[in-house]
Amino acid sequence: MSQTRLLPADDTGKDGAAAILRAGGLVAMPTETVYGLAADARSDVAVARIFEAKGRPRFNPLIVHLPDIATARRLVKWDDRAEAVAQAFWPGPLTLVLPLAENAGLSPLVTAGLDSVALRVPAHPLARDLLLRFGGPLAAPSANPSGRVSPTEPAHVMEALNGRIEAVLDGGPCAVGVESTILGLTHDTPRLLRPGGLPAEALAEVLGAMPQPPEAAAGITAPGQMTSHYAPRGRVRLEAIAPEPGETYLGFGPLPAGAEGAMTLSASGDIVEAAARLFHCLHELDRAGAERIAVAPVPDRGLGRAINDRLRRAAAPRGGPESTSYAP
């Protein structure tokens, strides 16, 4: 394949991206969370190309991106809980996992053989416009090689996938910076399958109770449940109050004195800023050649749950079948 094209965020760029998708190609599109690697979710060949470009295991399902709630209702067995949370939080950084409807028309590669599917209506105006111009559902995991740090800027995608995909639609930096929250609604008990850009507390206000964690023995039932992911090249140590010799420090709040080359997720300790900067900082540490990274404690509440989830996966043992990447 020739060099990947960087398409502008104008009508010419959006029409060009839609044409590539209709031809079975791959386009990295911006969402409010991270950049997603989009392909026609109805085409086996196009979806297979996502797995090939990323080096992604095929047992890991993908999120399907849609333009509106009405389209979602046609693809799954919809219920009152789905209607309530969709009305409250779509478009936005929330993915719903629901039982797949008969004759939904999606490639079985999207669901990895499961009888459920993950759906999202993104809020980013470019993603929404592209979905309307394309005129169909788009499967879109994060636009990065499997197991690596998720992309939040066009440059991150170009560095990682240049020559492996057709184009990147340039929407600038992503505002949320961590992937979507995934809520499982396949059974009577709502389950938080992945913390993300929508805090679980917000879901609890609509559902009437906090969603429960995934069932321990359920296996992989949604994107984002693999052990090792979001990994920079350097090894990661968590809950570090200060760096040890040879470590580069990634702080939360003011940095300790004398921490050479250190970065902070948020100098003021703002959890929203920290979420937006997390993957940016990990990319910068890669560019700086950091071999060992010490990460400060981050409060485990609100968006902090999503940050800590990503950090734990970044610090997990690497290699083997559990190293993969997830959807936005």
Handedness of CA 161, 19, 58, 33 (dihedral sign): positive
Residue identified by tokens 């140590």 is 237
Q: Are 52 and 37 in contact (CB under 8 A)?
A: no
Q: Nearest-5° angle of CA 141, CA 144, CA 146?
A: 80
Tokens at 190, concatenated:
């709502």
Radius of gyration for the chain, computed over Cα atoms and rounded to the nearest angstrom = 19
CA-to-CA separations, 119 to 94, 116, 324, in angstroms, rounded: 9, 10, 20
What pLDDT does 317 receive? Answer: 82
In tens digits, the chain (328 residues) has pLDDT values of 679 999 999 999 999 999 999 999 999 999 999 999 999 999 999 999 999 999 888 888 999 999 999 999 999 999 999 999 999 999 999 999 999 999 999 999 999 889 999 999 999 999 999 999 999 999 999 999 988 899 999 999 999 999 999 999 999 999 999 999 999 999 999 999 999 999 999 999 999 999 999 987 665 666 655 566 678 999 999 999 999 999 999 999 998 877 778 999 999 999 999 999 999 999 999 999 999 999 999 999 999 999 999 999 899 886 543 333 334 6
| Distance of alpha carbon 41 from alpha carbon 110, whole angstroms | 7
Using CA atoms of 155, 255, 317, 139 in order, give the dihedral in degrees to the nearest 10.
-30
Helix (H/G/I), strand (E/B), else coil: 222 = coil
Nearest-angstrom CA–CA distance, 286 and 146: 16
H or E segment at 83? helix 80-89
Pull the structure tokens for residue 11: 């009508």
Please, what are the domains in the chain?
5-207 (3.90.870.10), 235-315 (3.40.50.11030)
The neighbour count for residue 288, using CB atoms within 10 Å, is 12
